[in-house]
């Protein structure tokens, strides 16, 4: 399948009173037609910032893309005007958020809202837009969509609101859906239904999905490939199978040991990763995970690891797997 989206060496910073926070530091990945790519990591790792950069939905006054490129179907997005971006948003790339009540307008009916979205991008009549809105609401599992169209967001349950947000995002048949923690606020049963809905939508329309989550259960149930982010960088990427069966980076292994998953024995005790992520005002010179890593060696603190390939689809950035580390290899400095 063709490459839809290509992010290359992306750096994003935030200006704060305390100085510049380097939230995303050299992130690169591709998204192909029809696939589901997960970006997983703890809160503050830069996964949401990466997603918002692609939509250019970062706070304008404080955030800036410092370096790198984001190409969509070959077109560079970082230099586009807000007007050009507005044409792409919703029609080519759509975003789904954690909370529909803040992402959508609770004061107008959901019908008006979906129709507005359609009419903004397509030159069609209101009657035709209404027909499409009804069809789409039916597709995402809203029963009696003709009646529901006249209702407001607060008249729906949390799961139904997510369905409505997905309907809005998908109604103009975008090639890419970016979903930022779309199931985090929902209970497990509803979560599974929303994941099924994404799958069905992808089967029906071929849309490519980027799912941003901290939940490895969601990753296992939804994604084809995964990028693991830590402190603004991708530390490991691979297929779901490679990541879950043969994790290579100590951080990925730590995540797997510390997070409850839908597909594993929930009675097994979870081991949290000790310590906290580094300060991104002044990111460490070497490996960003070194302070928390039980495998850390002297080289880790001095030099940032580069990516090493484990297969055509699997790579990680860790000195443990880099043959070049041997030249500067030192005995472990941390133990447990």
Alpha carbons 13 and 90: distance in angstroms, whole number: 25
* Residue 287 φ then ψ, to 5°: -70, 130
Kindly tell me which residue out of 238, 252, 296, 308 binds ligand SF4, with binding defined by CB under 6 A: 296
Asked whether position 48 contacts Mg ion by CB under 5 A, the answer is yes
Kindly tell me which residue out of 295, 302, 307, 310 binds ligand SF4, with binding defined by CB under 6 A: 295
Alpha carbons 323 and 297: distance in angstroms, whole number: 14
Q: How far is the CB of 106 from ligand SF4 (least distance, A)?
A: 44
Region near ligand SF4 per CB under 6 A, out of 67-75, 92-100, 236-244, 288-296: 288-296
Kindly tell me which residue out of 287, 308, 314, 315 binds ligand SF4, with binding defined by CB under 6 A: 287
Closest CA to 198 of 188, 183, 213: 183
Asked whether position 273 contacts ligand SF4 by CB under 6 A, the answer is no
* 270 token code pair: 């979870």
Q: How far is the CB of 254 from Mg ion (least distance, A)?
A: 19
Q: Give Rg (Cα) of the chain.
A: 21
Region near ligand SF4 per CB under 6 A, out of 74-82, 106-114, 254-262, 296-304: 296-304
Alpha carbons 262 and 228: distance in angstroms, whole number: 18
Asked whether position 178 contacts ligand SF4 by CB under 6 A, the answer is no
Kindly tell me which residue out of 53, 290, 308, 315 binds ligand SF4, with binding defined by CB under 6 A: 290
Using DSSP's 3-state secondary structure scheme, residue 148 falls into helix
Between residue 212 and residue 271, which ones bind ligand SF4 under the rule CB under 6 A?
249-250
* 140 token code pair: 């995402």
Q: How far is the CB of 268 from ligand SF4 (least distance, A)?
A: 24
Per-residue contact string for residues 305-334; x = within reach of ligand SF4 by CB under 6 A: x------------xxx--------------
Name the one residue in this structure whose structure tokens are 């995540």. 255
Name the residue whose CB lies closest to Mg ion.
48
Asked whether position 300 contacts ligand SF4 by CB under 6 A, the answer is yes
Binding-site size, ligand SF4 (CB under 6 A): 14
What count of other Cβ atoms lies within 10 Å of the Cβ of residue 194? 23
Do the strands 176-180 and 19-32 form a parallel or antiparallel pair, or are they unpaired? Answer: unpaired
Q: Do 29 and 237 form a contact (C-beta atoms < 8 A)?
A: yes
Q: Do 295 and 263 form a contact (C-beta atoms < 8 A)?
A: no
> Using CB under 6 A as the criterion, which residues of the chain lie in contact with ligand SF4 when the complex forms?
249-250, 287, 289-290, 293, 295-297, 300, 305, 318-320
> Using CB under 5 A as the criterion, which residues of the chain lie in contact with Mg ion when the complex forms?
48
């Amino acid at each position: 399948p063709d490459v839809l989206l290509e992010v290359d060496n992306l750096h994003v910073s935030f200006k704060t009173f305390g100085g510049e926070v380097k939230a995303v530091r050299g992130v690169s990945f591709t998204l192909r037609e029809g696939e589901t790519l997960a970006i997983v990591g703890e809160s503050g790792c830069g996964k949401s910032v990466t997603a918002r950069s692609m939509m250019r939905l970062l706070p304008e006054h404080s955030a800036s893309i410092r370096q790198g490129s984001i190409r969509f179907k070959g077109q560079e997005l970082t230099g586009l005007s807000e007007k050009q971006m507005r044409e792409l948003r919703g029609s080519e790339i759509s975003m789904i958020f954690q909370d529909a009540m803040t992402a959508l307008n609770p004061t107008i009916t959901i019908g008006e809202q979906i129709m507005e979205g359609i009419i903004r991008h397509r030159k069609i009549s209101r009657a035709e837009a209404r027909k499409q809105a009804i069809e789409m609401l039916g597709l995402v599992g809203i029963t009696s969509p003709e009646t529901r169209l006249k209702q407001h967001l607060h008249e729906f349950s949390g799961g139904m609101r997510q369905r409505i947000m997905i309907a809005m995002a998908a109604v103009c048949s975008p090639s890419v859906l970016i979903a930022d923690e779309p199931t985090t606020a929902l209970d497990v049963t509803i979560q599974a239904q929303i994941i099924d809905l994404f799958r069905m939508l992808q089967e029906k329309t071929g849309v490519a999905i980027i799912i941003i989550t901290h939940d490895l259960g969601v990753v296992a149930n939804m994604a084809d490939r995964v990028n693991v982010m830590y402190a603004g960088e991708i530390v490991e990427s691979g297929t779901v199978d490679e990541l879950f069966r043969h994790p290579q980076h100590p951080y990925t292994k730590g995540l797997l040991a510390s997070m409850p998953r839908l597909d594993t024995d929930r009675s097994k005790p979870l081991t949290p990763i000790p310590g906290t992520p580094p300060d991104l005002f002044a990111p460490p010179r070497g490996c960003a995970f070194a302070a928390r890593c039980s495998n850390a060696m002297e080289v880790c603190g001095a030099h940032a690891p580069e990516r090493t390939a484990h297969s055509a689809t699997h790579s990680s950035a860790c000195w443990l797997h880099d043959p070049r580390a041997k030249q500067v290899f030192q005995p472990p400095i941390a133990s447990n």
